[in-house]
Amino acid sequence: MAYNFEFYAPTKVLFGRGMEEETGRQAKAFGASRVLVVYGGGSARRSGLLEKVESALEAEGIASWELGGVVPNPRLDKVYEGIALGKEHQVDFLLAVGGGSAIDTAKAIAYGLGEPDRDVWELFQHTRKPQNCLPVAAVLTIAAAGSETSKSCVITNEKTGEKRSCGSSLARPRFAVMDPEYTKTLPDYQTGSGCVDIMMHTMERYFTNGGNMEITDALAEGLLRTVMENAVKLHRQPDDYDARAEVMWAGSLAHNDLTGCGNDGGDFMTHKLEHELGGMFDVTHGAGLAAIWPSWARQVQNDCLPRFVRFARKVMGITAAVPDEEVAELGIQAMEDFCRSIGMPVNLEELGVRPTDRQIEEMAESCLAACGSSTGSAKKLTKEDMIRIYTNARAAR
Ligand code: NZQ
Ligand code: ZN
């Protein structure tokens, strides 16, 4: 049965070659006059994109200041630095040039400047809800997190090791510029991680026990098959523009809620479990998801069997005439084979992480605290379930 839903995807998308030249005009149209440009470790400068974007702002008479040095698994101290800079220059608009890390940093700064007398970290601790936020936009350089159209923002508090998210449509980007050309310089590991992350955003919404619609399932399955096909192409041929374009657009559709309409809001426990790995070991997000998903899937498959069977048949192309439990397992194995085929890990050892029993317990406790209580749609996970998932994920079965 289809559940009621709200679908709100207001981000204006400018997609394709040369679209970065539109940035100034769009920013002006959305009311920007003093912009803080947020970027990462330097890839956007090396490719020349940053300069083009800043020239496009200047051509529209928009003043801009830079905040560089955002790291993957972006940190709270950079957010505070951005808030101070934003206050100093009285910025009225945030523009990220980069991936999820730059965009999420821009979103968090925008929250901080929207309520300048409050500590922004409270939003990530969920002790209050955001009431105000400056406008944000993105010029995307990696197909992965989907932050360019999503309402989420994920920040790591480097002092406590907590990686936490805040979700509100206040921070949804006003516009997103996506030129696939600029993703050709991505290292293979980042391309692969991005493709897994995109798939997981749809899979988190697919493996549910509440509410389903055929149209949503069909969109999700088509998206998953398309990303897999093009991820394999990009592993072999990183400069394939059309394959870059396919995954870039898929990345936005996978996380703007389209592939969750009519269900119960999704599961998202693979993400929650991975965020603990990110907080403790600073792993690349998509690779972390690839490493934890098979163990999660085997832990919950019997509680959500029809969805695992459908995934195996419609996404992974399993045709074997065997009992449902075996079909589900074949689907999970096919996902592992796909991940390995693009250089992604399927367990923690392959990810390069060896948590002790104590660390596993700490991650499970922290994950439960972040969730508030046993959470999940495929299965509500207890602390013991989480410990089992991390433990079984340690190495190949
Ligand atoms: O910092 P630079 O020099 O730009 O290098 C980055 C970084 O090292 C590099 N890169 C990006 N574009 C490139 C490039 N290198 C060469 N050429 C390019 N065109 O790639 C590395 C990863 O960048 P990052 O922004 O961290 O990637 P991603 O988009 O995967 O973002 C990951 C972050 O987003 C969060 C993740 O948890 C993680 O913190 N997520 C955000 C979500 C959201 N806001 O909706 C949802 C996701 O589930 C996710 O949790
Ligand atoms: Zn993700």
- Residues 76-109 pLDDT 10s: 999 999 999 999 999 999 999 999 999 999 999 9
Contact indicator for 344, 196 with CB cutoff of 8 Å: yes
Query: Mean per-residue pLDDT for 319-348?
Result: 98
CATH for 188-392 is 1.20.1090.10
- CA of residue 73 to ligand 1 center, whole Å: 8
Average pLDDT, the chain: 97
The per-residue pLDDT for 236 is 98
| Phi/psi at 93 (5° precision) | -160, 140
pLDDT tens per residue across span 173-231: 999 999 999 999 999 999 999 999 999 999 999 999 988 899 999 999 999 999 999 99
Ligand nearest to the CA of 191: 1
| Nearest-10 crossing angle of helices 357-371, 383-392 | 130
Spatial CB neighbours of 14, under 8 Å, sequence gap ≥ 6 = 22, 26, 175, 176, 177, 178
> Are 12-182 and 188-392 in the same CATH fold?
no
Query: pLDDT band for position 299 (50/70/90)?
Result: very high
Which residues surround ligand 1 with Cβ inside 6 Å? 40-44, 72-74, 98-102, 104, 141-142, 144-147, 150, 152-154, 182-183, 185-186, 190, 194, 197, 255, 271, 278, 285
CA of 143, closest atom in ligand 1? 29
The per-residue pLDDT for 324 is 98
What is the CATH T-level fold of the domain 12-182, as seen in this structure? Answer: Rossmann fold (3.40.50)
The per-residue pLDDT for 226 is 98
Query: Mean per-residue pLDDT for 350-364?
Result: 98
Query: Mean per-residue pLDDT for 247-269?
Result: 96
Percentage of residues of the chain with pLDDT beyond 70? 100
- CA of residue 150 to ligand 1 center, whole Å: 14
The per-residue pLDDT for 168 is 96
Ligand nearest to the CA of 71: 1
Residue 397 pLDDT > 90: no
Where along the chain do its domains lie?
12-182, 188-392
- CA of residue 327 to ligand 1 center, whole Å: 34
Residue 386 pLDDT > 90: yes
Spatial CB neighbours of 88, under 8 Å, sequence gap ≥ 6 = none
* Residue to probe by mutation, ligand 1, list 43, 164, 271, most atoms within 8 Å of CB: 43
Contact indicator for 20, 53 with CB cutoff of 8 Å: yes
- CA of residue 133 to ligand 1 center, whole Å: 22
Whose Cα sits closest to atom 48 in ligand 1?
145
